Amino acid sequence: MTQRKSLLSDHVDGRMVAIDSDEAVADRNAIVQLDPDHPGFRDQAYRARRNQIAQIAMKYQPGDPIPDAPYTDEEHQVWRVIWQALQPAHQKHACAEYLSSIKRLSFASDRIPQLREVNYKVQRISGFRLEPVAGLVQPRVFLENLADGVFLCTQYIRHHSTPLYTPEPDVVHEIVGHGVTLASERLAELNRLFGQAVKRTTSPEALERLSRIYWFTIEFGVLREGEDVKAYGTGLLSSAGELEEMRKADLRPFDLDAASRQDYDPTHFQPILFCADSFEQMYGTVHEFLVKW
Ligand SMILES: [Fe+2]
């Protein structure tokens, strides 16, 4: 039966998505599957917890408080290890907009924050809600929800055997990356505009182009602050390793048309990044592009 499963890579986020090839497109509540190469594949307790957390998402009704995920002490320790690596990397490599947003959220560094707690703060700042998903989200579903101020969010954490590596976006990426940037009014606004642009898009080619621009801005965007190159992309800001390496990338001028045609591989550090001259230039350019789309 496993041959019938095909792995798709979510072009927005590099989410690994397993679907039955003869089934309709997975909706937001489809069951998550672990690939045999996944670090937690042979850990029955981890898999049981992943399923339990997936059940939270499946039972979740929009607008309800999000039930707390049953993290173990080992998993809180994963968060602490990541946090210790990320804090100094943020001070060196994160853009000013991000650093001021992370202060506004001021979440605990010694345990995994629950989505419910992050939501409470983010919603007051930008109106965005994080809503749990089991992990299987098609790009259009993910992007269109942004138009309504909804960020579909995974709640599980990576396997404790690999604290600095995850083959799929987990709650660290969601909170440290997206949760924090959605606590910036301007970055939240761009997320909303991406959703609205996708809703006006009918052809798969146009959707692909918008997904790539999302990737090279919201997920992997960099910009200049004086002489420095700083990150505002959530994929960079949730990986201390990639933050340290980002200057080695081929930094290209901030050209959204070029970004919309640039292929990428979500499984490696990004060798090509599009670098804006400033936060204001990035914000103004993306805003105008999406409104005109
Ligand atoms: Fe992401």
At residue 62 the predicted structure's pLDDT band, cuts being 50, 70 and 90, is: confident
The alpha carbon of 263 and the centre of ligand 1 are apart by a number of angstroms equal to 17
DSSP classification of residue 39: T
Which is catalytic among the residues 159, 160, 173, 174?
173
pLDDT mean over 30-44: 77
Could you give the CA distance from residue 275 to residue 266 in angstroms, rounded to a whole number? 18
In the annotation, is 173 catalytic?
yes
Is pLDDT at 28 greater than 70 in this prediction? no
pTM > 0.75: yes or no: yes
pLDDT greater at residue 237 or residue 64: 237
Could you give the CA distance from residue 91 to residue 70 in angstroms, rounded to a whole number? 31
Contacts of 189 (CB under 8 A, 6+ apart): 126, 287
Write out the two tokens for 132.
């749990």
pLDDT mean over 198-225: 96
Look at residue 170 and give its three-state secondary structure.
Answer: coil
In the annotation, is 160 catalytic?
no
In the annotation, is 238 catalytic?
yes
Phi-psi region of 226 (alpha: psi -120 to 50; beta: other; left: phi over 0): left
pLDDT mean over 13-26: 41
Look at residue 101 and give its three-state secondary structure.
Answer: helix
E-strand ranges in 78-214 read: 129-132, 150-153
The alpha carbon of 183 and the centre of ligand 1 are apart by a number of angstroms equal to 15
The alpha carbon of 135 and the centre of ligand 1 are apart by a number of angstroms equal to 12
In the annotation, is 219 catalytic?
yes
Question: 187-215: string of b/e by CB count within 10 Å (b at 16+)?
Answer: bbbbbbbbbbbbeebeeeeebebbbbbbb
Which is catalytic among the residues 131, 219, 239, 260?
219
Is pLDDT at 138 greater than 50 in this prediction? yes
The alpha carbon of 142 and the centre of ligand 1 are apart by a number of angstroms equal to 10
Helix 115-126 with 185-199: angle, nearest 10 deg: 90
Is pLDDT at 27 greater than 60 in this prediction? no
- Amino acid letter, residue 222: V
Which residue in 131, 132, 136, 133 sits closest to 149, CA to CA?
131
The alpha carbon of 179 and the centre of ligand 1 are apart by a number of angstroms equal to 10
Could you give the CA distance from residue 196 to residue 194 in angstroms, rounded to a whole number? 5
pLDDT mean over 228-256: 95
Of 11-15, 58-62, 173-177, 255-259, least confident by mean pLDDT is 11-15
Could you give the CA distance from residue 99 to residue 106 in angstroms, rounded to a whole number? 11
